[in-house]
């Protein structure tokens, strides 16, 4: 009816063809084509001629049937998104996600999602990667037919990119240090870590109340030494971003492990690090709001001795250190003959290795059974610097503080250079004594000679020998 009205006005000269086409929202050429078809066929000429015709771009029926059969036989417990990804990766499927979802709905294999009410406002993401990291563990039956395990995930707040992903028997301090070491080694030091209030993260004086900022756990101590802020979450909703990632992983990861034929924790951790984590990030990670990074490289590598369990011990009378029911024998050292009653530090690494330190000095490393792997054989400190005003005669340089006594004394020995004959005091005294002996008394007794004192110097020790005739 609208076309008929505009056509009458155009034929009456009120408007032009271009104005009529603009009012209809079509091109002027389309308006003229509709005019000719209306004059020839009447109102039937204005009908859409595509109705009742098969689209040339319609999905092949055989491909649709193959997709539905795969879902019924092998992927019935997958979500549509996950199922579509597996079709493209494993079965050479080329059709789009929307077509796949619509046909699954029409076949009654998948129910349309119920529209949910609006959720409360989300916390905005940090603009740069490395500004805030989330870390948490999720207990779930990740491997089919095996008891539940803890999946430790460390992810970035800005992009939801997962930096560390592995399975352990139980979440704790060692798993936390393992994840942090993987992140720092691969990317660098970050600004803040957001976790729950687990006992390995924080000490809570009163259950349900705020955590202590003064009594630190091993994790809190390590983060404070590295200058990383540790933020505690007081509700599951505060960690919503991390919880949503776990919901996705609990739905996808067990099926992926089943399809890959993995049944052991060791094989699963290797596969997660080498294959799955990169695929997960490509599919679900987003771009950061700003370019750049907040990660800072630790050029000195101090994190290796910080991100571990550190405890003090007192060396026993047998020169051993007690640790976890074992005795760690301290080897010989250039620092001192023994370390009995000395207070040392034991570093326990996530892989089970141990090291013992005395102040800044590393003494030895041990295996998980307590056997010595390698002991310190080189000085732990650099040699002393050259004197500011060396003597004209070329005074000997100072030895290292940790060098053996024999080497230190040998390097700083005094008086080893032979004196000139004219400057030898002993020679003049011997000549005077010989002259007195030449003139004897009537009784034939030689006159008394003055005592000769010889000084022998070696390093910092001087010994005197009193010899008389």
Reply yes or no on whether the pLDDT at 5 is more than 90. no
Tens digits of per-residue pLDDT, 293-307?
999 999 888 999 999
Which residues, 6+ apart, have CB-to-CB distance to 398 below 8 Å?
383, 384, 387, 411, 412
* Helix or strand (DSSP H, E) at 464: strand 461-467
Which residues, 6+ apart, have CB-to-CB distance to 271 below 8 Å?
257, 260, 262
Tens digits of per-residue pLDDT, 305-348?
999 999 999 999 999 999 988 899 999 888 888 999 999 999 99
The number of residues making up the chain comes to: 469
The DSSP string of 68-111 is HHHHHHT-TTS-HHHHHHHHHHHS---S-HHHHHHHHHHTTSSP
**Residues 29-42: what's their mean pLDDT?**
85
pLDDT at 379: 45
Tens digits of per-residue pLDDT, 348-375?
998 889 999 999 999 999 988 888 887 7
- Contact criterion met (CB below 8 Å) for 11 and 4: no
pLDDT at 114: 79
Apex 46 CA angle, 41 and 52, nearest 5: 100
Tens digits of per-residue pLDDT, 391-401?
455 444 444 43
Boundaries of every domain in the chain: 2-46, 61-106, 133-284, 308-375, 421-467
Query: What's the CA gap between 433 and 450, in Å, rounded?
Result: 8
Of 31-45, 72-86, 99-113, 305-319, minimum mean pLDDT range: 31-45
pLDDT at 374: 76
Reply yes or no on whether the pLDDT at 415 is more than 50. no
57 three-class SS:
coil
* Helix or strand (DSSP H, E) at 285: none
Long-range contacts of residues 37-42, Cβ cutoff 8 Å, at least 24 apart? 38/3, 38/4, 38/7
Pick the more confident residue, 456 or 190: 190
Of 7-16, 69-78, 334-343, 399-408, minimum mean pLDDT range: 399-408
Pick the more confident residue, 192 or 369: 192
- In percent, how much of the chain has pLDDT > 90? 54
Query: What's the CA gap between 64 and 54, in Å, rounded?
Result: 16
pLDDT at 404: 44
Residue 186's nearest CA partner among 131, 136, 130 is 130
Pick the more confident residue, 140 or 453: 140
**Residues 415-443: what's their mean pLDDT?**
52
Fold of the domain spanning 133-284 = Nucleotidyltransferase; domain 5 (3.30.420)
């Amino acid at each position: 009816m609208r076309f008929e009205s505009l056509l009458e006005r155009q034929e009456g000269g009120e408007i032009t063809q271009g104005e009529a086409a603009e009012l209809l929202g079509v091109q002027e050429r389309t308006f003229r084509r509709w005019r000719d078809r209306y004059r020839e066929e009447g109102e039937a000429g204005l009908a859409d001629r595509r109705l009742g015709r098969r689209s040339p771009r319609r999905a092949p029926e055989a491909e649709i049937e193959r997709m539905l059969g795969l879902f019924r036989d092998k992927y019935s417990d997958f979500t549509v998104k996950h199922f579509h990804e597996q079709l493209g990766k494993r079965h050479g499927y080329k059709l789009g996600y929307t077509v796949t979802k619509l046909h699954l709905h029409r076949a009654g294999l998948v129910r349309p999602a119920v529209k949910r009410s609006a959720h409360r406002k989300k916390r905005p993401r940090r603009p740069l990667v490395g500004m805030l990291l989330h870390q948490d563990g999720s207990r779930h039956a990740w491997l089919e037919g095996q008891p539940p395990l803890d999946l430790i995930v460390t992810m970035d707040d800005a992009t939801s990119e997962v930096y560390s992903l592995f399975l352990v028997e139980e979440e704790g301090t060692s798993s936390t240090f393992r994840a942090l070491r993987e992140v720092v080694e691969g990317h660098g030091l970050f600004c803040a870590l957001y976790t729950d209030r687990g006992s390995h993260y924080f000490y809570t004086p009163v259950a349900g109340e705020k955590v202590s900022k003064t009594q630190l756990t091993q994790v809190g101590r390590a983060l404070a030494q590295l200058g990383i802020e540790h933020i505690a979450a007081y509700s599951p909703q505060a960690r919503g971003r991390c919880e949503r990632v776990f919901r996705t992983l609990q739905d996808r990861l067990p099926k992926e492990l089943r399809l890959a034929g993995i049944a052991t924790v060791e094989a699963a951790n290797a596969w997660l690090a080498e294959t799955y984590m990169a695929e997960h990030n490509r599919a679900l990670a987003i771009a950061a709001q700003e370019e750049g990074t907040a990660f800072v490289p630790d050029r000195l590598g101090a994190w290796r001795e910080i991100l571990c369990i550190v405890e003090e011990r007192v060396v026993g009378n047998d020169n051993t250190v007690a640790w976890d029911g074992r005795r760690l024998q301290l080897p010989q050292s250039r620092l001192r003959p023994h370390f009995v009653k000395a207070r040392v530090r034991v570093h326990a690494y996530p892989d089970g290795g141990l090291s013992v330190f005395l102040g800044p000095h590393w003494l030895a490393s041990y295996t998980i059974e307590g056997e010595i792997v390698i002991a310190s054989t080189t000085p732990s400190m650099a040699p002393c610097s050259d004197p500011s005003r060396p003597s004209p005669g070329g005074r000997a340089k100072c030895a290292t503080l940790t060098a053996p006594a024999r080497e230190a004394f040998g390097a700083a020995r005094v008086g080893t250079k032979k004196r000139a004959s004219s400057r030898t005091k002993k020679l003049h005294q011997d000549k005077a004594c010989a002259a007195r002996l030449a003139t004897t008394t009537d009784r034939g007794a030689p006159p008394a000679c003055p005592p000769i004192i010889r000084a022998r110097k070696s390093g910092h020790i001087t010994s005197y020998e009193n010899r008389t005739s």
